[in-house]
A and B are shown apart, each in its own frame.
Chain A
Amino acid sequence: MSVNDKIVSDLVDNDISFVTTVPCKQLAGVIDAIDAHQDIMHVPSNKEDEGMGLCAGAFMGGKRSAIIMQNTAIGVTVNTLATLVQYYRMPLPMLISYRGELGEPVACQVEMAVHTKAILAQMNIPTYHFHHEDDVNELDKILKYTYMCNKPVAILTDASFWKGY
């Protein structure tokens, strides 16, 4: 099973049926797989905080939800994470492409990469980092953990995990 299929399969197995995405080159394959899956409602959003609002609404409507986004957007979602997702205690798996790591060709991406884990740590957001392809095998447990603790949880996926840029 490909990494993309494994991710989508774990989402579906954990009853996640609403996914919003803001694209990243590294995430193109998994976004395609989500869009194609009949058990997932895929609602692309224009900005990541908007997407978190959609996820909050879907969750309150009875659908487990998740967001797929790039780490450069962590900065613009700080307020939404603090005053909506965390304040109202909502679970939110965040599958995040970790741009600006080894293999990155675009220098500017490093500028947010160096802040990514610091911001997540400052916000007390449980954070996992997928670097090797086998790391994907932890996703199922991470999703169960998210719904156990009702928190936003970050899964950073770097270029090595995706086998290149």
Chain B
Amino acid sequence: MIRSDVLKDIAPVIAEHLVVCNIGLPSQELHLIDDQPTNFYMLGTMGLSSSIGLGLALAQNKKVISIDGDGSVLTNFGTLPTIANNAASNYILLIIDNGSYGSTGDQPTYAGRKTSLTKVAQACGCDNVVECKAEDTKAEIEKALAGDEMTIIVCKCESGNIPVPVITMDPVVIRQRFMDAVAS
């Protein structure tokens, strides 16, 4: 399974929850597969999906799922200690780890070589870190949503992309639509 297969698989499970989605192809794919007002699409700012999601989870009570990538987590490694030390029970970080920078042409990341993001997250103090195969991601998200504990899911999948259009929605529309969904 590649990232878009994972997103298709989990779309029904995350549809009714607040989702902060990573820059580039992940947001474009999620937008194509299942656009929802509860989706916050990042149009720029690589690396901050997990930080935006954590801030959102700490500020209100609804469940929040940040969809991130291995490359983006590597860009913003400082996020993991912050998540560990400010654990929000309504927060799930899904790292779709395909071992490559998908949006820029599948250049390999260090997460696909010697570096284990699962072990890094654990070493940073995150208590509930699950590494799973791509096909088990949906079940792991369902389990995390049913529980009451901050969860980091590292989904190991294959690299590869599907052709998707860019998101042309205005950022202020994305933001306001999302904030209305948060407040509803």
- Our verdict on whether A and B bind, yes or no, reads yes
Residues in B neighbouring A89, C-beta threshold 8 A: 171-172, 175
Most chain A CB within a 10 A radius of its CB, from B47, B56, B86: B56
Query: Contact check: which of B49, B81, B182 meets A60 at CB < 8 Å?
Result: B182
Query: What does the 1/0 interface line of A78-100 toward B look like (CB < 8 Å)?
Result: 01101110011110000000000
Q: Would you call B82 and A46 a contact (CB within 8 A)? A: yes
The answer to whether the Cβ of A72 comes within 8 Å of any Cβ in the partner chain is no
Main secondary structure of the interface of B (DSSP, over half): helix
Q: Would you call B56 and A43 a contact (CB within 8 A)? A: no
The answer to whether the Cβ of B7 comes within 8 Å of any Cβ in the partner chain is no
The answer to whether the Cβ of A58 comes within 8 Å of any Cβ in the partner chain is yes
User: Given A62-B59, A65-B55, are A83 and B78 neighbors across the interface (CB < 8 Å)?
Assistant: no
The answer to whether the Cβ of A27 comes within 8 Å of any Cβ in the partner chain is no
A79 to B75 Cα, complex, angstroms: 13
Closest chain B residue to A61 by CB distance?
A: B59
Residues in B neighbouring A57, C-beta threshold 8 A: 20, 51-59
The answer to whether the Cβ of A18 comes within 8 Å of any Cβ in the partner chain is yes
Chain A proximity of B83: nearest CB distance (Å): 10
Residues in A neighbouring B86, C-beta threshold 8 A: 43
The answer to whether the Cβ of A153 comes within 8 Å of any Cβ in the partner chain is no
A56 to B175 Cα, complex, angstroms: 10
Residues in A neighbouring B107, C-beta threshold 8 A: none
The answer to whether the Cβ of A131 comes within 8 Å of any Cβ in the partner chain is no
Q: Would you call B52 and A54 a contact (CB within 8 A)? A: yes
Q: Would you call B79 and A50 a contact (CB within 8 A)? A: yes
Chain A proximity of B14: nearest CB distance (Å): 17
A18 to B51 Cα, complex, angstroms: 14
User: Given A46-B81, A53-B51, A89-B172, are A60 and B44 neighbors across the interface (CB < 8 Å)?
Assistant: no
Query: Contact check: which of A61, A83, A87 meets B182 at CB < 8 Å?
Result: A61
Q: Would you call B171 and A50 a contact (CB within 8 A)? A: no
User: Given A61-B182, A79-B44, are A54 and B82 neighbors across the interface (CB < 8 Å)?
Assistant: yes
Q: Would you call B78 and A87 a contact (CB within 8 A)? A: no
Q: Would you call A50 and B48 a contact (CB within 8 A)? A: yes
The answer to whether the Cβ of A129 comes within 8 Å of any Cβ in the partner chain is no
The answer to whether the Cβ of B128 comes within 8 Å of any Cβ in the partner chain is no
The 25 listed contacts between A and B (C-beta, < 8 Å) are A18-B58, A41-B58, A41-B59, A43-B55, A46-B82, A49-B47, A49-B48, A53-B49, A53-B55, A53-B79, A56-B55, A57-B20, A57-B51, A57-B56, A57-B59, A58-B55, A61-B57, A61-B58, A65-B55, A79-B44, A79-B45, A84-B45, A87-B44, A88-B172, A89-B175
- Given contacts A53-B55, A79-B45, list 20 more A-B pairs with CB under 8 A: A44-B82, A45-B51, A45-B82, A46-B78, A46-B79, A49-B76, A50-B79, A53-B45, A53-B48, A54-B58, A57-B55, A57-B56, A57-B59, A59-B59, A60-B55, A61-B56, A65-B59, A87-B44, A88-B172, A88-B174
What is the interface of chain A, defined by CB distance below 8 A to chain B? 18, 41, 43-47, 49-63, 65, 79-80, 82-84, 87-90
What is the interface of chain B, defined by CB distance below 8 A to chain A? 20, 40, 42-45, 47-60, 76, 78-79, 81-82, 86, 171-172, 174-175, 178-179, 182-183
Question: Closest 9 interchain pairs by CB?
Answer: A57-B55, A83-B44, A61-B59, A53-B51, A46-B78, A53-B48, A57-B56, A54-B55, A57-B52
